[in-house]
Copies of this chain bind each other. A is one copy, B any other.
Amino acid sequence: MTNKDARTPASAQDEKSPEAGKSIGWHKAYVEGSRPDLRVPVRQVHLTNGQSVTLYDTSGPYTDPLVDTDVRRGLSPLRENWIIARGDTEEYAGRPVRPEDDGIKHTSPRGGLRNLDAVFPGRPRQPRRGRDGQAVTQLAYARRGEITPEMEFVALRENVSPEVVREEIAAGRAVLPANVNHPEIEPMIIGKRFLVKVNANIGNSAVTSSIEEEVEKMTWATRWGADTVMDLSTGRNIHTTREWVLRNSPVPIGTVPLYQALEKVDGKAEELTWEIYKDTVIEQAEQGVDYMTVHAGVRLPYVPLTANRKTGIVSRGGSIMAAWCLAHHKESFLYENFEELCEILAAYDVTYSLGDGLRPGSIADANDEAQFAELRTLGELNRIARRFDVQTMIEGPGHVPMHKIKENIDLQQEICDEAPFYTLGPLTTDVAPAYDHITSGIGAAMIAWWGTAMLCYVTPKEHLGLPNRDDVKTGVITYKIAAHAADLAKGHPGAQEWDDALSDARFEFRWEDQFNLALDPDTAREFHDETLPAEPAKTAHFCSMCGPKFCSMKISQDIRREHGGSRSEIEAGMAQKSQEFAAAGNRVYLPIAD
């Protein structure tokens, strides 16, 4: 994605690395669209040879030194005027925040909201929804032929025409998650025609973590390239944590409303009701959640299909719904009330992420009857959601060995009418706890190559514990690698220019350029400096890996230098010889007789 077109960044400033405190060679810049309030952020890398490379940027205003961010004030509402200008939404009083929204019981001796931060200190706001319950979704606009500012924004980000964006959304092959109550986001798109996206999960659990840590994890994850963030908090302060995350997030936020609903019934799955669930969905939609995982495909008749599995049901939402279905011996209330749920989501433009509650949790359970029975139901629900103009993506596994991965994406695309696939990994083996970012990064790269639109990251702590800051970074970087490898394999226009720029820097021993172009400049620089810390080594024509005499790139350069004047001259000379060789049928030197 080097900046080869006519678009000029609107601004560019010097910046300090938040990590190393060093002056570094990249800047936050903006590409301006058809209107002054449509400014697409980019990461502009300035090279020492005078060229520059423009990279996709998910880090939000936090990396713009001209923007003064304050976590207690929240980000500025970039999309607010676009939403208001459409005239199809209205503000309303909204549902009051209740103590139990934060997991505090009425019977609690403390009473009331313990945490004053539950009322976000930033600008006052009322929730907004579609007038008269009408669908105010990007899908509805796309189908009507309207190109919204959000669509133009992602078109600039992806280097495609706005019409392509509109078409893909209208066809249901892409989603643009953008709740009318989350005006702070920089719009992004999820679909196989576009760059492969990465989601990072954050969230406290009953065991550990705090609100501040979750907000910090969110900005940290987007700093390294997370395209969306799911807040999977359980335990106390769910509502408040989410409010803080939303008001400070430049990327779409996803949730699993079932988790909060379960907290409201004190963790007793059988006490869940459609009313409690619906109320929770509205609560979250009013806050601005952009997409919600809904496990409506876990139907009563599918639960017995998991009986002979090695690892049963491994999706939290899936196991909760299965427990409910069996306890009541009734069909899932999510499945039964799916149409009403569609009406609610349409009024806020919340995107469905239809959950794979029956995904395989081990190699042994991959691609089994339970998994594919649910997938067929997700296909059915996708068609219903479409009737209500609700944007929809489909979640996928899980643990799948390499030879069974392709069947997953091929079946999903067929059954779900090419709706975007959003997969967790898949993990290609079960034997490496503590390294499941890698077992799954392998599967993620492959399934993305074959058409998956967004990858849900896995951190080194998967199966073992809650990820800390380092784990989040490792998970995001691993998945950015998988996503970019897939962009290359798909031949995504412009994807290889990034690799080419870095390889040019590498061959020409422009070390600083190599670091600045790296997915993780800090660690690349740190690793180099570990053995050759002196500043002159940054211009050396070798590194400590092979030393000066054995540096193949140095020798390659020497060859070019010695057998011609400039690099271009030697290339011309060598190319000439190459042509002569080819002209002789590549058989100038006859093979030794066998």
Contact = CB atoms under 8 A, between A and B. Distances in A.
A555 B434 contact: no
A369 to B, nearest CB: 8
Interface string A554-591: 01111110110000001101111110010000101101
A343 interface: no
Interface stretch (A84-92, A104-112, A476-484): A476-484
A401 B488 contact: yes
Nearest to A548: B206
Given A362-B500, A517-B431, A532-B465, A208 B544 contact: yes
Given A463-B543, A500-B362, A556 B432 contact: no
Contacts of A363: 488, 496, 499-500, 503
Contact of A589 (B312, B331, B364): B331
Contact of A323 (B263, B315, B559): B559
Contacts of A312: 507, 552-553, 556-557, 559-560
A399 B507 CA distance: 14
A485 B439 contact: yes
Contacts of A205: 544-547, 550
Interface residues of A, number: 142
A585 B380 CA distance: 17
A502 interface: yes
Contacts of A262: 549-550
B552 A314 contact: yes
Contact of A591 (B315, B380, B589): B380
Contact of A506 (B316, B428, B463, B545): B463
Contact of A401 (B207, B430, B485, B531): B485
A477 B581 CA distance: 44
A24 to B, nearest CB: 15
A574 B307 contact: yes
B559 A322 contact: yes
A545 B464 contact: yes
A308 interface: yes
A544 B465 contact: yes
Given A384-B592, A484-B431, A364 B442 contact: no
A556 B434 contact: no
Interface stretch (A117-125, A156-164, A296-304): A296-304
A552 B428 CA distance: 20
A143 interface: no
A553 B307 CA distance: 13
Which A-B residue pairs are the 6 nearest by beta carbons? Answer: A307-B574, A312-B556, A362-B503, A402-B489, A319-B555, A267-B549
